[in-house]
Structure 1
Amino acid sequence: MADFITVARPYAKAAFDFAVEHNRIEAWQKMLTLVSHISQDEQIKSVLTSDMKPDSIAQLFINVCREQLDEYQANFIKVMAENKRLILLPDVLMLFVQFVLAKQAVADVDVISATPLTDAQLDKIAAGVEQRLSRKVRLKCHIDKSIMSGFIIRSGDMVIDSSIRGRLNRLSDALQS
């Protein structure tokens, strides 16, 4: 998975830089979402991993998308097809969205709790994480009863685990050391 991200990053960065330069971020994100969904279709996946010529695969994508691609986006698809990278389109989309969020100075933050949190609790969490990350945050809340109580906050490499399960695991590790 990490290897795919590494290979997808230059394509996502090139698409993002082009979209920013031409003030077409939303159009490129929409296009990448479309072609990403197309690339995940089982029949298309089998074509992407076949011995079919890259030009034919690119033309297949362009034909499926019809009027929804401009010439630059079609060229982007052709370049990815020539390099046999169309299978990476979901990763390219994910990285593109991360670049957009970074440009907007917005961080996605996952909040996992055992029970639903109140609006006041979410506001307090958002304020604390915004201060820590020095950017606006967008909370995505999930319920996971296995953490027993408390919550876990994840954003990129940052993890704040104040769950009972996390505390018990840390205590167990300390006792075993």
Structure 2
Amino acid sequence: MSEQTIARRYASALFHIAREQGTAGELAAGLERVSNVLADDRDFRRVLYHQLIPVRAKQKLVDTIFPGLAPVLKNFLHLVLARGRERALPEMAAQFRRLVDQAEHILPVEVTSATPLGEDILAGLKERLAATTRQHIRLANRVNPDLIGGLMIRLGDRVLDASLKKKLELLGEHLKKA
């Protein structure tokens, strides 16, 4: 079974429990926090993924590093560790966030620009996207100096590329054909 299938099943089970309890947003934030620490802390990742370290020691480590987790999420993480599915945790967090976003009609949008955008520009963009898509928008701004100028907007699985880099590439292709 693929890691993505496993993650989808675990995330779905956690989502059903979270929806019953009304804690989906809280659990999503906690699970993302665990996933971010896994991504950022090499030593934590090494210990959690190590096959020879006992499950109970891994569970205690998670409890120590994340003391304020909701009991449901704590139990979920203990189950994941007991079943040896810790490598799928980042994908579980992503799948769980997708389920929460779908339920709450939130569209994750990633705006990439050559330089950091001001809060007023981001707020205006968020407002326009919300009006256009008729959904709530969760906006994330990334900076990529390679774009030179303009924006690249990722709406779910759609990408709107209005960057200067893309325009120059298109111009180059057009000139080659001429």
Band of TM-score, shorter chain: 0.7 to 0.9
C-alpha separation between the residues in 2 aligned to 1:120 and 1:34?
Answer: 28
SS of 1:78's equivalent? Answer: helix
Q: Which amino acid aligns with 1:79?
A: L
Query: What per-residue deviation string (whole Å, max 9, x for no partner) do you get for residues 64-119 of structure 1?
Result: 5457452x434322321232112332332233223222222121212223354683
- Is the CA contact 1:54–1:82 (under 8 Å) kept in the aligned structure 2? yes
| More off after superposition, 85-94 vs 8-17 | 85-94
C-alpha separation between the residues in 1 aligned to 2:74 and 2:123?
Answer: 42
**Structure 1 position 174, deviation (Å):** 4.9
Matched residue, 2:59: 58
Q: Which amino acid aligns with 1:29?
A: A
- Is the CA contact 2:58–2:81 (under 8 Å) kept in the aligned structure 1? yes
Q: How does 1:15-34 map to 2 (within 5 A)?
A: 15-34=14-33
Where structure 1 has 5 or more consecutive residues not aligned to the other structure, the ranges are none
- Is the CA contact 1:16–1:96 (under 8 Å) kept in the aligned structure 2? yes
- Is the CA contact 1:62–1:69 (under 8 Å) kept in the aligned structure 2? no
Q: Which amino acid aligns with 1:135?
A: Q
**Kindly, what percent of the aligned residue pairs are identical?**
24
C-alpha separation between the residues in 2 aligned to 1:54 and 1:121?
Answer: 44
Query: What per-residue deviation string (whole Å, max 9, x for no partner) do you get for residues 128-177 of structure 1?
Result: 53355341223323343432332211122110011221122233345557
Closer/same/farther in 2, CA of residues 80 and 167 from structure 1, 3 Å limit: same
Matched residue, 1:88: 88
Q: How does 1:17-166 map to 2 (within 5 A)?
A: 17-36=16-35, 39=38, 41-47=41-47, 48-62=49-63, 65=66, 68-70=69-71, 72-115=72-115, 116=117, 119=120, 123=124, 125-166=125-166
| More off after superposition, 159-168 vs 40-49 | 40-49
Give the TM-score normalised by the residue count of structure 2.
0.72
Where structure 2 has 5 or more consecutive residues not aligned to the other structure, the ranges are none
